[in-house]
């Protein structure tokens, strides 16, 4: 009798799994990452995308923490061959001249990795297109929520975004982020550098022994000339013999958090759900942590033979909202802290941070939060 019950349960679970179908709106890295995670669980995914595909921004890069790289390799796709490992982070500020403000390092292992956005995009698309569980659709369907177990929306411009996800907490920084790749003489390139300058934070992020990514967030609503940006990159560079500064791209900076994570079986996700200042390199890391949470909820449903329904979304919001909110505001606090100091005429605040950073326990705590997020 027990064997019959077990067999029936297995047949029921398999039937439920085979009927699971999810729709994803959007085709950015958040959408592709989640699609690959679901496809790996034998869930059918239809991805609705716009017909017009813009040329990729070759200057954009991502920083991914060590723990998130491990999760990505195991649960999404192995990306070891497209990442560049960073073993040390050094942080400076104009207020302390040539003194380090903070330092994080692991002499034996990487503490995080950098990769080019378009390379990750290519790897995900190549893998997804091979799967029988994945379909890419250009034509829009009506009443989309009625046709799928779950609809996951990453598209800021989708109709359902305006309808269900217009209410948000948003902060505009009156700033632009300028991105580029510099080509330079070959060096051992495993140290990431961030400098809090008079104009805003600039990051030098290694991506090979001869290339380094630049992200410069400038506190000015007026767009800067390329000549000005190139001059500032050269001024703050002290590690590299630069051969060429490649095309400079830019985008406006803001942070946001949706007031509501879902409506019925429609869930907001990725940059639509939350967006943060790039100074800490945590935007995509927050999304990967969201994927972890959502995937664990879906796996539990699968194991119990339960369908994917609204309860997935409510449980996801319950488990992730408070962490995302605290993390987002923590990054904003860092921005405002150095923005305030920039306007002062002394280095007292930087000296205080420098002193705290020399405490091994505090330094370790900062590094752990940056790697794994908030563990509660």
Q: What is the pLDDT of residue 54?
A: 65
Which range has the worst mean pLDDT, 19-23, 106-110, 157-161? 106-110
pLDDT digits (tens, 9 = 90+) for 270-320: 999 999 998 878 899 999 999 999 999 999 999 998 999 999 999 999 999
Q: Which of 227, 255, 269, 265 is nearest to 328 (CA)?
A: 255
b/e 113-142 (16+ beta carbons within 10 angstroms → b): bbbbbbbbbebbbebbeeeebbeeeeeeee
Q: Show me where the domains of the chain are located.
A: 2-372
Which range has the worst mean pLDDT, 149-153, 164-168, 335-339, 368-372? 368-372
Cα 198 to Cα 92, 167, 353: the distances in Å are 12, 34, 18
CATH of domain 2-372: 3.50.50.60
Cα 155 to Cα 24, 31, 32, 48: the distances in Å are 9, 9, 12, 10
The pTM (predicted TM-score) of the whole model is 0.90
Q: How far apart are CA 37 and CA 363, in angstroms?
A: 33
pLDDT digits (tens, 9 = 90+) for 195-227: 998 888 999 999 999 999 999 999 876 667 889
Q: What is the pLDDT of residue 203?
A: 95
């Amino acid at each position: 009798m027990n064997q019959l019950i077990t067999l029936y349960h297995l047949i029921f679970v398999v039937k439920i799994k085979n009927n699971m179908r999810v729709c994803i709106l959007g085709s950015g890295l958040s959408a592709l990452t989640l699609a690959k995670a679901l496809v790996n669980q034998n869930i059918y995914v239809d991805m609705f995308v716009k017909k017009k595909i813009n040329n990729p921004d070759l200057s954009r890069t991502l920083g991914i923490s060590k723990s998130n790289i491990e999760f990505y390799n195991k649960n999404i796709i192995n990306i070891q061959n497209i990442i560049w490992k960073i073993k040390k982070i050094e942080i400076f500020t104009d207020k302390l001249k040539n003194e380090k403000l903070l330092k994080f390092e692991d002499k034996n292992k990487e503490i995080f990795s950098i990769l080019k956005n378009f390379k990750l995009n290519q790897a995900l698309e190549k893998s997804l297109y091979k799967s029988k569980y994945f379909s890419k659709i250009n034509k829009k369907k009506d009443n989309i929520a009625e046709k799928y177990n779950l609809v996951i929306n990453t598209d800021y411009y989708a109709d359902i975004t305006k309808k269900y996800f217009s209410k948000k907490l948003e902060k505009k920084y009156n700033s632009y982020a300028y991105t580029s790749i510099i080509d330079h003489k070959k060096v051992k390139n495993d140290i990431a550098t961030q400098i809090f300058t008079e104009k805003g934070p600039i990051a030098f992020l290694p991506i090979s022994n001869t290339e380094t990514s630049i992200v410069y967030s400038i506190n000015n609503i007026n767009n800067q000339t390329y000549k000005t940006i190139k001059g500032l990159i050269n001024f703050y560079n002290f590690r590299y013999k630069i051969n060429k500064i490649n095309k400079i791209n830019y985008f406006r900076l803001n942070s946001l958090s949706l007031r509501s994570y879902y409506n019925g079986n429609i869930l907001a996700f990725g940059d639509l759900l939350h967006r943060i200042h790039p100074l800490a390199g945590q935007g995509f890391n927050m999304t990967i942590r969201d994927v972890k949470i959502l995937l664990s909820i879906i796996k539990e449903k699968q194991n119990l033979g339960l369908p994917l329904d609204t309860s997935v979304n409510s449980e996801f919001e319950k488990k992730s909202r408070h962490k995302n909110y605290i993390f987002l505001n923590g990054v904003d606090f860092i921005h405002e802290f150095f923005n305030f100091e920039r306007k002062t005429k002394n280095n007292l605040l930087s000296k205080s941070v420098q002193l705290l950073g020399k405490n091994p326990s505090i330094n370790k705590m900062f590094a752990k939060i940056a790697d794994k997020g908030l563990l509660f």
